[in-house]
Chain A
Amino acid sequence: MVPEFGHFALILALALAVLLSSVPLAGALTGRSALQGFARPLATGQFVFIAIAFMALTRAFLLDDFSVAYVANNSNSLLPWYYKFSAVWGGHEGSLLLWILVLSGWTLAVAIFSRRLPADLLAQVLSVMGMVNVGFLLFILLTSNPFERLLPNVPADGTDLNPLLQDVGLIIHPPMLYMGYVGFSVAFAFAIAALMRGRLDSAWARWTRPWTTVAWCFLSLGIALGSWWAYYELGWGGWWFWDPVENASFLPWLAGTALMHSLAVTEKRGVFKSWTVLLAILTFSLSLLGTFLVRSGVLTSVHAFASDPTRGQFILALLGITIVASLTLYGFRAPAVHTRVRYGALSREVFLLMNNVLLMAAMLVVLVGTLYPLVLDYLGGGTLSVGEPYFNLTFSPLAVAVALMLGAGVFSRWKRTDGGWLGRQLLWPAAVSLLIAVIVPLWLGGFEPWAFVGCFAASWVLVATVRDIWGKSASRHGRMHGLRRLTRSYYGMVFGHLGMAVVMAGATVVSNYGVERDVRMTPGDQARIGDLTFRFESIGDREGPNYTAQQGVFEVREEGRLVTTLYPEKRIYNVQRSVMTEAGIDAGLFRDLFVALGEPVNGASAWAVRIQHKPLVRWLWLGAIFMAFGGGLAISDKRYRLRRRERKETDRQNASGVGEPAAEGGPG
Chain B
Amino acid sequence: MSTTTEPGPRAKAERPSRLAHAGRNADERLQAASPLRTLLNKVFPDHWSFLLGEVALWSFVVLLLTGTFLTLFFDPSMEHIVYEGSYTALRGVEMSAAYASTLHISFDVRGGLFIRQMHHWAALLFLAAIVVHLLRIFFTGAFRKPREMNWVIGVLLFWLAFLLGFTGYSLPDDALSGTGLRIAHAIMLAVPVIGTWLASSLFDGPFPGEVIIFRVYIAHVFILPLLTLGLIGAHLALVFKQKHTQWAGPGRTNTNVVGERMVPRYAAKMVAFFLVVFATIALLAGLFQINPVWLFGPYKAAVVSVASQPDWYVMFLEGSTRLFPAWETRFSLFGEHFTLSPLFWPGVVLPGVLTVLMLAYPFLEQRITKDNRIHNLLQRPRDVPVRTGLGAMAVTFFVILTISGANDVVAKSFDISLNAMTWAGRIGLIILPPLAYYITHRVCLGLQQHDREVLAHGVETGIIKRMPDGRFVEVHQPLGTDLEYTGWAVPKKMNRLGALAPAVRGFFVPIERPAAPPEVAPPAPNGHDDTGTGEHTRTDVERR
A and B are interacting partners: no
